[in-house]
Structure 1
Amino acid sequence: MVTRARRAPSESTGSPRERPAADRRGGLAAVVAGALLSAALPAFAALPVLPQQRATAQQVAQAGVPLSELAPDAPDSYTVKRGDTLWDISRLFLRSPWRWPELWGMNLQQIRNPHLIYPGQLLELERVDGRARLRMGRRDGASGLPTVRLQPRVRSAPLEDPAISAVSMQAIAPFLNEAQVLTREQLDGAPRIVATPDSRVLVTAGQTAYVRGDLQGARDFMLFRETRPLVDPQTREVLGYEAAFVGTAEFQRPEDTSGALPVPASFVLTSARQEAGVGDRLVPLPPRDYASYAPHAPQAPVDGRVVSVYGEAVAGGSNQVVAINRGTRDGLERGHVLAVWRAGKAARDTTLAGPGQAIQLPDERSGLLFVFRTFDRVSYALIVQAVEPVRAGDRFSQP
């Protein structure tokens, strides 16, 4: 017997399910993201699927998902919309959005690659004998995509919508390369601006700056200043130095040391978040990375603390970025989903006779983090869900 859910998904927020108020708050990432993603993101056909993810999907494909693992209001069908993410759709059907391989495994025959789900495709949920499976429905056309009727006039449109991403790329795009953590050695050895033409105090995009230092053969650089130490809340050890992004610069002419006095290398600023000046330092600019990240839980237990909220904020809500005190050497990788916890407060049991007994309330989960950039000892994570504001010192663990 096939049964259907009664509730249809909410469309009031532009995502599969309406989020709590804390999840609807915009942050620094949401404000500055739009201009950086004006071009379409690349297709995700070549994205890898981890062996353990494929194994989970294959296991689910054989048996389906228990009804107890479905979201309480999982709809009977859902049409993928532009702006949806794999995270959103997983959260729509399942209790835990990072368990996307199970969503994929509910229909391995039709969903060959979970990174290639497109706007317009219809997903239908079937419940049979206590198990659930997901299948690709059909609308007007045989492919599950809507029929487009063309009118006899000239129009401009993309050839097709890009495949949906794992999470909102607009939220993390500004931080993929701009969020930079340096060691003390990297900071001390970084090339620096030593002069500007006509002794200008500041220069901006399109203008020249003179640089000295080891360029390491690179041509494109990021400019930064005002580094601040990232201090481990647990050990009080400096994990690295977070660099404030100034802009980007391109190499033009090498330094000349053949004469009596050295002649600095010449650079042209290619972009400027703020004006650059003498003393600003340079670090090679990595290639732009707009790859999708598949959400997945860490395989091993993880325990750490939030170091800081990116920018000047004291606390962060959904779509803001935090630095955490674990990195690649601790086994963290891009795509890891982490639960963040608010420490339980001290209280007193006043139900007993006398002054009462001191007690410690348990920690409560306050949100979820999505790791998108990792360094040796530090990582950056997007707050994808927040019941309460996330603050420096909050604990995180595997979800």
Structure 2
Amino acid sequence: MRKFIISFIFLGCFVFSLSADELYVVKRGDTLWDICEKYYQDPFLWPKLWQINPQITNPHWIYPGDVLCLKETPEALIEATKKIKGQKKKEISFDWRYLEAVGYLLPYKEKSMGEIIKAVGEDKVILGQGDKVFIRFKENVKPKLGTIWTIFRISPVIKHPVTGKNIGYIHEILGTVKLTHIYQHMVKAQIVRSYDVIYVGDYLKPYEAFKPFSISNEKPKNIKAYIVASRAKITEIGWPEVVYIDAGEEQGLKPGQILDIFREKKNFPPLPLGQVLIIHVTPKTATAIILKSKYPFHSGDLVTALK
């Protein structure tokens, strides 16, 4: 096996007649949410910022060095972006911390050790990075001051796209909190990182840092599995989206393996769609990120390993 830093390819932004104060260069750890909060004083404007920067293919995946336009995009930029294919590409090393947000699929609901019960000082229901919150832990949990906890949410039951059977629940990783004050019946904490919108009522569990892995040339034997859902809950799935697969450690899957995706159609040979990289496994399921997609993936597409 060889050590590997995940790298993704993205296409640069063409900027015409924009002054320095109308541009922003993404720094490590930035999100569209954070940038909107800083420049517009409203983090919920992030969909608008994404809209005026069509070179950003996925709003959850921006990279240090990306150039964002902070004001309405000129027509010239829109036209240039349409013609961007074939221009010089830039390679960015991926930040492993973002993989903490991919989540996982389990056949059961993971037990919560606590939940967010209220924002500090105001009646906010929707929360984000920097917000202070009150947490109520389960009676058998003894939280320690200064510790980091993961915020998560559990999806409704996922039905298998091929068999129609209940397959489990997606556990969405939303962010992290740091415990700042411990009181008799509750704990005060600050959200130190948010990967998605956080709500009052979201759950907590102990924080576990994502463990980098090595790319493996090893292929699981006789693997035949299916994409059952995507993190973004969309039907047309492409690079660099996260997907969940109905096979895991018991079927020989390991982080670092690259698998092939096909679409099966009766009386036709399987259509090759692209490849995924396994980044997290449980005994019966796996989480993967799309490395390349010739065509959009769908739930129900076949996951296998070509020799």
TM-score, normalised to structure 1's length?
Answer: 0.49
AA matched with 2:104: V
Distance 1:381 1:275, change over 3 A: closer
Which residue does 1:28 correspond to in 2? 58
Correspondence 1:197-216 to 2 at 5 A: 197-202=120-125, 203-214=127-138, 215=141
In structure 1, which of residues 268, 272, 282 is the aligned counterpart of residue 190 of structure 2?
268
Distance 1:253 1:326 in 2: 42
Is residue 2:114 matched to residue 1:191? yes
2:106–2:285 Cα contact (<8 Å) kept:
no
Distance 1:299 1:184 in 2: 22
Which residue does 2:200 correspond to in 1? 278
* Bigger radius of gyration among the two: 1
1:27–1:320 Cα contact (<8 Å) kept:
no
1:339–1:368 Cα contact (<8 Å) kept:
yes
1:250 Cα offset (Å) = 0.8
Is residue 2:90 matched to residue 1:169? no
Distance 1:220 1:294, change over 3 A: same
AA matched with 2:58: L
1:394 Cα offset (Å) = 0.5
Which residue does 2:176 correspond to in 1? 248
Distance 1:185 1:326, change over 3 A: closer
In structure 1, which of residues 209, 212, 236 is the aligned counterpart of residue 164 of structure 2?
236
1:366–1:386 Cα contact (<8 Å) kept:
yes
% identical equivalent positions = 18
1:179–1:243 Cα contact (<8 Å) kept:
no
1:239–1:378 Cα contact (<8 Å) kept:
no
1:364 Cα offset (Å) = 2.3
Correspondence 1:360-399 to 2 at 5 A: 360-399=267-306
Q: Residues 196-251 of structure 1, C-alpha deviation per residue, up to 9 Å, x if partnerless?
A: 33452234433332212245757212223362433333443444322344332012
Distance 1:204 1:370, change over 3 A: closer
AA matched with 1:337: I
1:26–1:319 Cα contact (<8 Å) kept:
no
1:373 Cα offset (Å) = 1.6
1:295–1:370 Cα contact (<8 Å) kept:
no
Aligned-residue RMSD, C-alpha: 3.5
Q: SS in structure 1 opposite 2:157?
A: strand
1:182 Cα offset (Å) = 6.1
Q: SS in structure 2 opposite 1:177?
A: helix
Distance 2:90 2:64 in 1: 18
Ranges in structure 2 where 5+ consecutive residues have no aligned partner? 1-10, 13-54, 67-88
1:322–1:381 Cα contact (<8 Å) kept:
yes
Q: SS in structure 2 opposite 1:329?
A: helix
1:26–1:317 Cα contact (<8 Å) kept:
no
Ranges in structure 1 where 5+ consecutive residues have no aligned partner? 1-12, 15-24, 38-80, 85-167, 257-262, 346-359
Q: SS in structure 1 opposite 2:240?
A: coil
Q: How many residues align?
A: 228
TM-score, normalised to structure 2's length?
Answer: 0.62
Distance 1:317 1:207, change over 3 A: closer
Q: Residues 262-315 of structure 1, C-alpha deviation per residue, up to 9 Å, x if partnerless?
A: x112222212345544211112221143x3531424242211001123203212
1:338 Cα offset (Å) = 1.1
Structure whose residues are more often strand by fraction: 2
1:221–1:283 Cα contact (<8 Å) kept:
yes
Which residue does 2:209 correspond to in 1? 287
Distance 1:253 1:173 in 2: 26
AA matched with 2:204: L
Distance 1:204 1:26 in 2: 22
Distance 1:313 1:278 in 2: 25
AA matched with 1:179: V
Distance 1:378 1:230, change over 3 A: farther
